[in-house]
Amino acid sequence: MPLPTVTRSLSAKLLVLTVLFVLLAEVLIYTPSIARYRLTYLEERLAAAHLAALSVEATPDMMVAMELQNELLAHVGAHAVELIRPDSRVYMLSRSMPPTVDAVFDLRGAMAPRLTADAFMALAQRRDRVIRVIGPSPKDPAFQVDMVMDERPMIQAMIDFSGRILALSVAISLIAAVLVFVSLTRLLVRPMRRLTEGLVAIRRDPDGTPPFQPSARTDEIGVAERELADMQATIRSALRQRERLAALGTAVAKINHDLRAILSTAALLSERLAESADPEVRRVTPRLMASIDRAVELCGQTMTYTRDGLLPLARTAVPLRPLVEEAGTIALAALRPDVVRPDGERAELRWNNRVPEGLTIRADAAQLSRALVNLGRNAAQAGAGAVTVMVETRPGGGLILLVADDGPGLPPRARDNLFQPFAGSARAGGVGLGLAIAREVLRAHGGDLRLVESTAAGTVFALELPPGIVVEGAARVGEMPISESPIPD
């Protein structure tokens, strides 16, 4: 897999995200800033109007000439000003023909949401409005100022302020993006690129790639580098071991082939011994033949296990009850009359199929039957007289097959090495491949095989199948008797 290009690299994504996040932060800052700027602008006009209105008090007859009024109002930027003193005296300045007011804004007790909404509504205006502003004087809150003014100059000032904010935001975002980009590139991107290149090289040539040299960093990147170096060493060791095991497997296969031929000859001769006139020969012949059968079984299961590898599944819609019934028939047919249980009695098996009719799943019928047959044969050879197969559903469409027997339970050695090939057999002479193969079948289906319980009263295994495997008939599961050994959640 080629490494990503510059435009698709982690560095480019970090750069773009940094710019976007800084701009987003500036937008969040701009919202209250523009509202505050508008409020400050109006308060400055109110303060100027307060000072202009006080000029009325300086005149002898409390009257100001029209020319002076117009000059004062032009300085304030208003059409009319009304100043109300605490003693209820009113000072007024007004043009001869003040325009009609389009909107009124009362700043007394105005809250932030209202001020923010008014600011953005002002920026959205496309016509020149005349507004009336009422509020306490910034010079003396005891005075109240009522002013009529044009809104357009304020909007133009707000637009200029927004432009300055935008320019500052772009500059800050670019500077921050460059600083973050350089820092993250040195701290994260380059080490991650080195790790990625090491992983790609190991995947392409696991055994021929030079050893990865981790840095002295103590953070997460340093841990990842050391883990990659350890993983590379582990993979190399595993590859060398696999090569040795492959050569050993080839030798075992050749030996196994010759050994089976020898055992077949021995089996033919053993059958002739059963016709001997010597009572002692006839007495020991069944044990000899059973030993030869176990040796043949060992050879066959070993070859099957080493040859299978990953199980290829051919999933089809399978009626579950007939599949379980057929698996029971195969398990019963696989028990030879001379196969004995640990107590010396001939192995027999009763197969109780409690799967309801009409339940259909999507699975590999042959492989799933193989897992059930292995469990049935193991139960019979361990001393069970009956095997019962039940079914339960789980939320999400999952399905569980319960395989319960009435055997003496698994010995401690078998429990300690459960599902381990060549180590988890519950009987003398067994190879322990039945459970290992059954678990591989369930895991290939996306499920698992686990031991629910194993006591002197019997053993219960759960074949867990994944959600979505049931095609139809899930409601019929509720018609079944409840299992005596339910699976714990």
User: What confidence tier does 347 reach under pLDDT thresholds 50, 70, 90?
Assistant: low
Instruction: Give the pLDDT of residue 222.
Output: 85
Instruction: Give the pLDDT of residue 404.
Output: 93
- Least confident span in 34-38, 189-193, 401-405: 189-193
Q: To 10 degrees, what angle do helices 66-76 and 10-58 make?
A: 160
For residue range 294-331, list pLDDT tens digits in order. 666 656 656 655 555 555 678 899 999 999 999 988 88
- Least confident span in 43-52, 339-348, 401-410, 436-445: 339-348
Instruction: Give the pLDDT of residue 338.
Output: 47
Residue 76 has pLDDT above 70, yes or no: yes
Residue 26 has pLDDT above 70, yes or no: yes
Q: Residues 234-252: what's their mean pLDDT?
A: 75
Sheet holding 144-150, edge to edge: 90-94, 80-84, 144-150, 130-136, 103-106
Q: How many helices (H) and strands (E) does the chain have?
A: 11, 13
Single pTM value for the model: 0.45
Residue whose entry in the numeric block shows the structure tokens 């008939």: 473
91: helix, coil or strand?
Answer: strand
DSSP bridge pairs for 448: 464
Instruction: Give the pLDDT of residue 136.
Output: 92
User: What confidence tier does 118 reach under pLDDT thresholds 50, 70, 90?
Assistant: very high
For residue range 135-193, list pLDDT tens digits in order. 999 888 889 999 999 999 999 999 999 999 888 888 887 887 788 778 877 887 788 88
Instruction: Give the pLDDT of residue 464.
Output: 92
For residue range 79-97, list pLDDT tens digits in order. 898 888 887 767 788 887 8
Burial class (CB in 10 A: 0-12, 13-18, 19+), 350: middle
User: What confidence tier does 428 reach under pLDDT thresholds 50, 70, 90?
Assistant: very low
Return the closest-CA partner of residue 79 out of 93, 58, 65. 93
Separation CA 120–CA 158 (nearest Å): 10
- CB pairs under 8 A, 24+ apart, for 340-347? 340/290, 341/380, 341/381, 341/382, 341/383, 342/382, 342/383, 342/408, 342/427, 342/428, 343/383, 347/380, 347/381
Mean pLDDT of the chain: 79
Residue 481 has pLDDT above 50, yes or no: no
Instruction: Give the pLDDT of residue 321.
Output: 93
Residue whose entry in the numeric block shows the structure tokens 């380059």: 190
Return the closest-CA partner of residue 418 out of 378, 446, 384. 378
Tokens at residue 371, please? 């897992």
235: helix, coil or strand?
Answer: helix
Residue 354 has pLDDT above 60, yes or no: yes
Q: To 10 degrees, what angle do helices 152-184 and 10-58 make?
A: 150
- Could you tell me if 375 and 458 are in contact, meaning their C-beta atoms sit under 8 angstroms apart? no
